[in-house]
């Protein structure tokens, strides 16, 4: 059974703090993704990674960075959190052999005060 | 600018009614996926349609991909309270590594 886990379900941080969101998948998938989800806007791609040590900007990368040191782990970093980064963050993974299907984690609801 | 427009944004119906959700774009997609998301969970794939004009059925749910592969619809027959949730369409962009572009979502509430 496919499994994508995220380190926290809920997180509250203060403006200016550095925030780490961790995602782990156990399916040996090459590709991993970070999205943010806001009401009425659907999911918007922040960053993705085709494989270990690789990263590509998505549609809204400003204010974020990522790290992929191991195949199973993809981290999203908010260098200096701001209130407009309050959102639901979703991690996903896929394998190119599996078509376009992405498998999602449960999400992290981040509030920046 | 959203490449995929989903409508309606909200839908509240009685159990037993039928409904249709639409997903429209001016862009061509190599495939289109429908996901369902429950509160506190990530989206879960319902179906992928690949061929223009394709129709897929999943029990009471019928998915259609437009002939030009730019739009899609989801029809639910005799809705049940268990169908309540957020429905998301996502198109795979050819020439962009088949990255997914998501619609804004349709929040469906089925009342008993």
Query: pLDDT for A24-75, tens place per residue?
Result: 999 999 999 999 999 888 899 999 999 999 999 999 999 999 999 999 999 9
CB A76 within 8 A of CB B40: no
| pLDDT at res. B97 | 72
Question: What is the overall mean pLDDT for chain B?
Answer: 93
CB B62 within 8 A of CB B75: yes
What's the whole-number mean pLDDT along residues B85-111? 90
Q: Give me the residue from B6, B43, B104 closest to A104, CB to CB.
A: B43
Instruction: Give CA–CA dist A83/A60, Å, rounded.
Output: 16
Measure A58 CA to nearest chain B CA, in Å: 9
Instruction: Give CA–CA dist A11/B61, Å, rounded.
Output: 36
Instruction: Give CA–CA dist B26/B30, Å, rounded.
Output: 13
| Six-digit token string for B57 | 């059925």
B83-101 as b/e: b if 16+ CB within 10 A: bbbbbbbbbbbeeeebbbb
| pLDDT at res. A39 | 85
What's the whole-number mean pLDDT along residues B65-71? 95
Q: A57: which chain B residues are within 8 Å (Cβ-Cβ)?
A: none
Instruction: Check A101 against B99: CB less than 8 A apart.
Output: no
| pLDDT at res. A2 | 67
CB A32 within 8 A of CB A23: yes
Strands A108-112, A10-13: parallel, antiparallel or unpaired by DSSP?
A: parallel
pLDDT at B94 over 90: no
Name, in order, each residue with C-beta under 8 angstroms of A1's C-beta and a sequence gap of 6 or more. none
* Beta pairing partners, A45: A35
Instruction: Check A105 against B42: CB less than 8 A apart.
Output: yes
| Chain Cα centroid distance, residue B99 | 17
Instruction: Give CA–CA dist B99/B96, Å, rounded.
Output: 6
Which residues of chain A approach chain B closer than 8 Å at the C-beta?
A: 4, 9, 35, 40-45, 48, 50, 58, 90, 92, 99-107
Model pLDDT for residues A69-102, shown as the tens digit of each residue: 999 999 999 999 999 999 999 999 998 776 778 8
């Amino acid at each position: 059974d496919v499994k994508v886990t995220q380190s926290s379900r809920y997180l509250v941080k203060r403006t200016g703090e550095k925030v780490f969101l961790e995602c782990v998948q156990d399916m040996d998938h090459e590709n991993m993704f970070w999205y943010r989800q806001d009401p009425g806007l659907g999911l918007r791609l922040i960053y993705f990674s085709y494989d270990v040590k690789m990263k590509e900007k998505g549609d809204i990368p400003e204010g974020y960075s990522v790290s992929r040191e191991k195949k199973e782990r993809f981290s999203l970093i908010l260098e200096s959190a701001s209130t407009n980064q309050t959102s639901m963050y979703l991690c996903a993974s896929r394998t190119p052999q599996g078509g376009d299907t992405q498998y999602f984690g449960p999400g992290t609801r981040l509030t920046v005060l | 600018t959203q490449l995929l427009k989903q409508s309606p944004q909200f839908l509240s119906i009685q159990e037993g009614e039928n409904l249709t959700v639409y997903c429209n774009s001016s862009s061509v997609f190599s495939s289109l996926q429908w996901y369902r998301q429950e509160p506190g969970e990530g989206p879960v794939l319902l179906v992928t349609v690949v061929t223009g004009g394709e129709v897929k059925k999943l029990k009471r749910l019928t998915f259609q991909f437009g002939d030009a592969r730019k739009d899609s619809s989801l029809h639910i027959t005799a809705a049940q309270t268990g169908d309540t949730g957020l429905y998301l369409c996502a198109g795979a962009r050819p020439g962009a590594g088949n990255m997914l572009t998501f619609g804004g979502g349709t929040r469906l509430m089925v009342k008993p």
